[in-house]
């Protein structure tokens, strides 16, 4: 394992990182996310974020997000925009610190703020972070060959995907390995090759092309208490001894470029074109595409809400052929507020109706419905429902399929009971507290070691 950087400009950081690594080393067991590489990259991202290199771009991002939201912008919405832009800027740095294709690492990104390894890691959430999903990145160059080694705990995450993408910001898919095609050995281990050869139809191979820049790995946890992300490490097959690591100046340049692209992809694209365009308190019809950060096997539905204290949104979701779906609430700037609160529910966490659909209630106050989604005090926010593990459009013609669907309406809280299905499960205050405590404890496992 490597705790030092070769280049002079990084010498200063290297010594800091080396000390941190040694002191935490003995306690790294058990948590697949708490790796020495994670610690190295988190420390470097923090260091870079502390210099004032992104002031102008952050101002541009804020203006673009405000434009995409549209006027008027309430005080409530305004109060969270600066923090959201800070997270967007940190996400751009996180993408850049693991951008060295000759010295690849596995890096967990797009998560909320946390304190671990003695590091105060800021949030790096952007563009509809999914509270179920552990997003990890590996930098890829198509002229090089990589071997990824994985280990699966138990039956593994509910949905796993490996997407080779052409750009860490627009995230367009170049090649793709789905969890159902991944071959895992009986002892839980697996290896995946990534290189430019066709691989002769070999299993666990991802063919890279000149467009490939990054492997984006999603591990979606359905049951947070029992499912663990896979262990993942990467090895470069080619010789890197004559290569020097990226300099800090190069990383800052890449981060600036990421932030610039993020303004367009997430501000103009995800918030503007995908979200704000919909009528308030409605959701777009689920649609499947491989652009703007979505998977080819994923369908998504976007919308934004604006509720008074005595109103609720009632949404009914049809899972269709998806093997996983999640209904998360996000703030006006398309990031989660407090994932440890019940701001999202997936098909393993929610209770189904008798006919297999799922009905959710979104409101500021807790109506005592099991499938309540907590707006965490917000009256305004955004929604991106997603279904994963769907047949791709080219492969779906053979069998008869049920399409994902969602249906949504605003009702006065006082009329909620008359709108909800008769089988709706309710919870007492004590049950709610206990459910919340379980969720919090399960969520905390991600950073415990
Ligand atoms: C998986 O990762 C954890 C945490 O780093 C480690 O304790 C465990 O030994 C790893 N398991 C395998 C089989 O690599
Ligand atoms: C590229 O991947 C294929 C398929 O797994 C493998 O057979 C080959 O050895 C790899 N090439 C290199 C240079 O690692
Ligand atoms: C790979 O699979 C395709 C489609 O099944 C087949 O046409 C082709 O002959 C296979 N190639 C090799 C080298 O096995
Ligand atoms: C690439 O560099 C890393 C870090 O210096 C080293 O651990 C690794 O063995 C090198 N890989 C190759 C194939 O040279
Ligand atoms: C980043 O900011 C630091 C501190 O203000 C400055 O010394 C450095 O030159 C900047 N780097 C780049 C690439 O702009
Ligand atoms: C709703 O979320 C807020 C913010 O996270 C939290 O303080 C509150 O306890 C939650 N309410 C319930 C009933 O879970
Ligand atoms: C399934 O049940 C829900 C709740 O009662 C209802 O809203 C929905 O229309 C039903 N869907 C079908 C396809 O019957």
pLDDT for 286 beyond 50: yes
Whole-number mean pLDDT of the chain?
A: 91
- Which residues does residue 405 pair with via DSSP β-bridges, in sequence order? 318
In the prediction, which pLDDT does 390 show? 87
Handedness of CA 442, 381, 282, 413 (dihedral sign): positive
DSSP string, 69-114: H-S---HHHHTTHHHHHHHHHHHHHHHHHT--TTS---EEES---E
Contact present, 150 and 192 (Cβ < 8 Å): yes
| Other CB atoms within 10 A of residue 46 CB | 17
CATH, domain range 279-447: 2.60.120.1600
Expressed in angstroms and rounded, the spacing between residue 55 Cα and the centre of ligand 5 is 11
CB of 145 shorter than 6 A to ligand 2: yes
SS3 state of residue 238? coil
Question: Do the strands 133-139 and 231-236 form a parallel or antiparallel pair, or are they unpaired?
Answer: unpaired
CB of 249 shorter than 6 A to ligand 5: yes
In the prediction, which pLDDT does 402 show? 83
Work out the average pLDDT over 333-351.
98
C-alpha distances in Å from residue 60, one per residue of 49, 89, 244, 318, 416? 17, 11, 33, 39, 42
| Other CB atoms within 10 A of residue 90 CB | 25
**CA neighbor of 385 nearest in space, from 417, 350, 416, 420:** 350
* Best of 314, 317, 353, 406 for a ligand 7 pocket test (most atoms within 8 Å of beta carbon): 353
CB of 52 shorter than 6 A to ligand 3: no
- Which residues does residue 189 pair with via DSSP β-bridges, in sequence order? 151
In the block, residue with structure tokens 């669907």 = 405
Give the DSSP H or E segment for 232: strand 231-236
pLDDT, one tens digit per residue, over 54-108 is 999 999 999 999 999 999 999 999 999 999 999 999 999 999 999 999 999 999 9
Work out the average pLDDT over 344-370.
98
pLDDT, one tens digit per residue, over 387-436 is 998 887 555 444 556 889 999 999 999 999 999 999 999 999 999 999 99
Stretch(es) of the chain classified as CATH 2.60.120.1600 = 279-447
In the prediction, which pLDDT does 227 show? 96
pLDDT for 361 beyond 90: yes
Work out the average pLDDT over 240-251.
97
Handedness of CA 426, 428, 432, 438 (dihedral sign): negative
Expressed in angstroms and rounded, the spacing between residue 177 Cα and the centre of ligand 4 is 26
Reported confidence tier of residue 8, pLDDT bands at 50, 70, 90: very low
pLDDT, one tens digit per residue, over 94-146 is 999 999 999 999 999 999 999 999 999 999 999 999 999 999 999 999 999 99
- Which residues does residue 315 pair with via DSSP β-bridges, in sequence order? 360, 408
Ligand 6 atom closest to 436 (CA): 14
39 exposure class (CB count in 10 Å sphere: 0-12, 13-18, 19+): buried
Q: Tell me if the pTM is above 0.75.
A: yes
């Amino acid at each position: 394992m490597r705790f030092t950087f070769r280049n002079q400009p990084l010498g200063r950081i290297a010594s800091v990182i080396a000390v941190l690594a040694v002191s935490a080393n003995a306690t790294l067991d058990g948590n697949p996310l708490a790796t020495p590489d994670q610690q190295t990259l988190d420390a470097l991202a923090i260091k870079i974020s502390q210099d004032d290199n992104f002031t102008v771009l952050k101002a541009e991002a804020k203006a673009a997000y405000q434009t995409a939201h549209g006027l008027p912008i309430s005080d409530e919405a305004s109060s969270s925009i600066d923090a959201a832009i800070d997270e967007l800027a940190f996400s751009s740095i996180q993408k850049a610190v693991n951008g060295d294709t000759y010295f690849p690492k596995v890096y967990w990104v797009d998560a909320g703020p946390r304190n671990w390894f003695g590091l105060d890691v800021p949030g790096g959430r952007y563009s509809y972070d999914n509270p179920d999903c552990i997003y990890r990145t590996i930098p890829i160059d198509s002229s090089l060959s990589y071997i990824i080694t994985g280990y699966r705990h138990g039956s593994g995450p509910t949905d796993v995907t490996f997407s080779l993408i052409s750009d860490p910001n627009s995230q367009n898919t170049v090649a793709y390995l789905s969890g159902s095609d991944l071959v895992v050995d009986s002892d839980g281990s697996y290896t995946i090759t990534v290189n430019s050869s066709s691989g002769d139809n070999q299993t666990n191979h991802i063919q890279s092309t000149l467009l490939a820049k990054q492997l984006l790995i999603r591990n979606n946890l359905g049951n947070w208490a029992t499912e663990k992300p896979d262990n993942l490490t990467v090895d470069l097959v080619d010789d890197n001894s004559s290569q020097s690591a990226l300099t800090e100046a190069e990383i800052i340049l890449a981060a600036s470029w990421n932030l610039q692209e993020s303004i367009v992809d997430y501000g103009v694209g995800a918030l503007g074109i995908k979200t704000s365009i919909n009528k308030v308190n409605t959701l777009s019809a689920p649609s499947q595409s491989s652009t703007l950060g979505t998977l080819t096997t994923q369908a998504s539905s976007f919308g934004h809400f604006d509720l008074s204290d005595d109103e609720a949104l009632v949404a009914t979701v049809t899972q269709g052929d998806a093997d996983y779906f999640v209904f998360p609430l996000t703030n006006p700037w398309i990031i989660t507020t407090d994932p440890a609160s019940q701001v999202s529910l997936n098909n393993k966490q929610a209770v189904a109706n008798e006919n297999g659909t799922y009905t959710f209630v979104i409101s500021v106050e807790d109506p005592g419905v099991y499938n309540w989604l907590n707006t965490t005090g917000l009256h305004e926010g955004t929604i991106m429902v997603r279904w994963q593990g769907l047949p791709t459009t080219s492969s779906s013609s053979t069998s008869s399929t049920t399409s994902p669907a969602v249906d949504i309406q605003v009702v006065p809280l006082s009329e909620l009971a008359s709108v909800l299905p008769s089988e709706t499960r309710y919870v007492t205050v004590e049950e709610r507290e206990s459910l919340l405590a379980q969720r919090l404890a399960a969520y905390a496992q991600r950073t415990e070691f």
